[in-house]
Amino acid sequence: MKGEKQEIHHTKPIRCIVKLGGAAITCKNELEKINEENLDIVSSQLRQAMMPGWSSSMKVLGMDWSKRHGESEVSGSFGHFQASKSGVHKGGLDQSLVKAGFVATRISVTTLNLEVVRALAREGIPSIGMSPFSCGWSTKEKNIASADLAVVDKAIDSGFIPVLHGDAVLDKLQGCSILSGDVIIRHLAAHLKPEYVVFLTDVFGVYDRPPTEPNAVLLREIAVGKDGKWSVVKPELQNMDKQVQTTVAAHDTTGGMETKIAEAAMIARLGIDVYIVKAGCRQPQTTH
């Protein structure tokens, strides 16, 4: 998605913000199962993008020095099952099931965050895991009410790569809610003003209908104006009035591709180009 450029000022320019979608690095239909191949490929690609002078003959200084006892037995859709089962996204901390689900959800999403940080660290990327709940993020009617970005700024200024994640947070009206990673990315983009934002997912980009349906068309370029209205630039569709159709998994409490498209459009309105691409591809097709 391409936005109209606006003049922005930085003390320290940020080149890119990357969103690692759960569908890209986990097996969404299985409980807590990491797609280790995709995660390793993405981590390697991010290291290469961050270190342009690196060559295959150079040694990578791994930063995961923890002891690992074989492969994890629980390794997928982290947080979504727990949140869906307990109704955390609907609020109600006075209910024991919701409170238990809040804790279970946070255990799950922080576990995934740790595995992502470890994968990046093994590639020599100085990544630091940060939980929105612990950093003081909260919502009001599911919209961000507060977000302390001072820790993020300090980490970047110190040469670290902050790795945030979707989280269970407190909500000022309904007690608690689920803060989507896509919403977090949009908030970070508005604050950090990167050159572009990349959403890594399990499909090649945005389609005019669910990509599993016959004759689904990949929308290669979408233009978003300052008024929020967007139009398909490439390819030219026969029916330009047709709305993009999306589907959401039953256990997905954050809106799936529909939320991703909406948040990407809001980022594009800031004048920041957005790319939605498939994770793990050596030469990915893109939608922007």
pLDDT of residue 89: 66
- What would you report as the CA-atom Rg of the chain, rounded to the nearest whole angstrom? 19
The model's pLDDT over 228-250, given as tens digits with 9 standing for 90+, comes to 677 777 777 665 545 555 444 44
DSSP 19-82: EE-HHHHB-TTSTT-B-HHHHHHHHHHHHHHH-TT--TTSPP-----S---SS-S----TTHHH
Binding residues: 75-76, 80, 181, 202, 256, 260
Confidence of residue 7 (pLDDT cuts 50, 70, 90): very low
CA nearest 188: which of 83, 276, 270, 77? 270
Say yes or no to pLDDT of 73 above 50. no
Binding residues for ATP: 76, 202, 256, 260
The CB density around residue 232, as the number of other CB atoms within 10 Å, is 19
d(CA 260, CA 53): 33
Say yes or no to pLDDT of 61 above 70. no
Confidence of residue 143 (pLDDT cuts 50, 70, 90): confident
pLDDT of residue 72: 42
Higher-pLDDT residue of 150, 287: 150
Q: Which two tokens stand for residue 62?
A: 């791994």
Enter the pTM of the model: 0.72
CA nearest 142: which of 267, 250, 259? 259
The model's pLDDT over 107-121, given as tens digits with 9 standing for 90+, comes to 888 988 999 999 999
Say yes or no to pLDDT of 104 above 90. no
Q: What percent of the chain is predicted at pLDDT more than 90?
A: 27
Q: Is CATH 3.40.1160.10 correct for 2-54+69-287?
A: yes
Binding residues for substrate: 75, 80, 181
What's the mean pLDDT in 141-156? 90
The model's pLDDT over 168-221, given as tens digits with 9 standing for 90+, comes to 999 998 898 889 888 999 999 999 999 999 998 888 888 877 888 888 888 888
